[in-house]
Amino acid sequence: MSIDITNIIGQPESQTLAYKAVLPPSKIIARIICSFANSDGGYIILGVTDDMDIVGLSSDFRPTAIVYKAINLISPKPQVEHQSTVHNGKNLYIIKIEKSEEIVLLEGKQYKREGDVDKLENPIEVEFKSQGYSEIGRINNELESYKNGATSAKIKLIEHYQSILKIIDDLDKILYPSDPNIPTTNQEGKILTRILFSSFADNFETYLSDLLYEIFLANPDTLKSQKEVTIKEVLDCSDMQEFVHYWANKQISKLQKGSVKGFIEDNKQISKLEAIDGLEQKEIEKILQVRHLYSHRNGIVDEKFLQYFSGEFDLNSEYEIPISELLKKLLYISGIVNNIDAKAINKYRLAEISTS
């Protein structure tokens, strides 16, 4: 197999051509392959920026395994050729996709290439109650605006947050039966409020882990600066991609304990972004402490919680939060994620997903 790209490189991104400066996660590659196969076919060239600057790929990771994983995510599998090549002294990886005679799907979703954008066909429109809590729709619109030009990690988080909004809208009778600004007295509503709060806090941690994975994958040199790992940790992973994902997950251990400052200090990839200031660190730590209280104490205030909320609550009292406050904190975290994501894309040239 030999793919000649001599007359392709230098052309702008189009209906049949996509550039990625770095090695993206397999799911992003799968999305582009799917969109090309459902349109006119085309080429993906890894190691070239979207403004046609040839930067080359690191030789530390082999794209072949990730491309195979991408193809295996698609059903039915389209006809794809891929190979590494050297162009102007730079390592590139070329993926050629043929137009498919039948519709191909990625996780049950159909994508098509429109211009230089990969678009989801027939996306599900989320509708909220016309007479419901208006703040839900406003927040959803803001979250939707965060999706364009985002990493795969951020898209995943935003879609999860939008699902939380839909649950809150659907279950208004138990989550805020009298007023969104008043904590529910319904026992099922209290339990669900705690679950929803914990869920959005947990997914902030998941976002940071996924983002580190994208950074490590795109910039292997940042992974080399990490602490030494054991042979067992390496052997327990089936391939390099799985190991990188494992290591990224491991890096959030301090964050899971509520130490945002410790997490940032331990992960230079995040600290170098200078995306979270001191006041934001403290606010995130408070949110994580509420998550801990809801996940492990059923909302009953303990001494550790009082260290972060000195003088605000009594020991062994029940911490309650109205839905209006939960939504404010969800939107607050979303804004921080939006800032982190933009800076990470710019600094590490991460692959973006555009929705328009």
* Structure confidence at residue 225 (pLDDT): 62
- Cβ atoms 343, 211 nearer than 8 A: no
Which residues have CB under 8 Å from 45's CB, separation 6+? 5, 8, 9, 17, 18, 19, 20, 92, 93, 94, 95
* Tens digits of residue pLDDT in 64-89: 989 999 999 999 999 999 999 998 89
Query: How far from chain centre, in Å, is Cα 57?
Result: 22
- Cβ atoms 19, 45 nearer than 8 A: yes
* Structure confidence at residue 231 (pLDDT): 61
Burial tier of 132 (Cβ tally within 10 Å: 0-12, 13-18, 19+): middle
Give CA–CA dist 165/49, Å, rounded: 36
| Confidence check: pLDDT of 325 > 90 | yes
Q: Which domains does the chain have, with CATH numbers?
A: 17-120 (3.30.950.30), 134-348 (no CATH)
Residue 258: which pLDDT band, with cuts at 50, 70 and 90? low
Mean pLDDT within 289-296:
94
* Structure confidence at residue 207 (pLDDT): 95
Percent of the chain with pLDDT over 90: 71
Please tell me what DSSP assigns to residue 121.
S
| Confidence check: pLDDT of 5 > 80 | no
Residue 7: which pLDDT band, with cuts at 50, 70 and 90? confident
* Tens digits of residue pLDDT in 240-256: 667 777 777 777 776 76
- Cβ atoms 190, 214 nearer than 8 A: no
Give CA–CA dist 82/68, Å, rounded: 9
* Tens digits of residue pLDDT in 151-190: 999 999 999 999 999 999 999 999 999 999 999 999 999 9
pTM of the model: 0.89
* Tens digits of residue pLDDT in 113-154: 999 999 999 887 788 998 899 999 999 999 999 998 899 999
Nearest to 289 by CA among 198, 221, 199, 205: 198
Q: Report the mean per-residue pLDDT for the chain.
A: 90
- Cβ atoms 287, 333 nearer than 8 A: yes
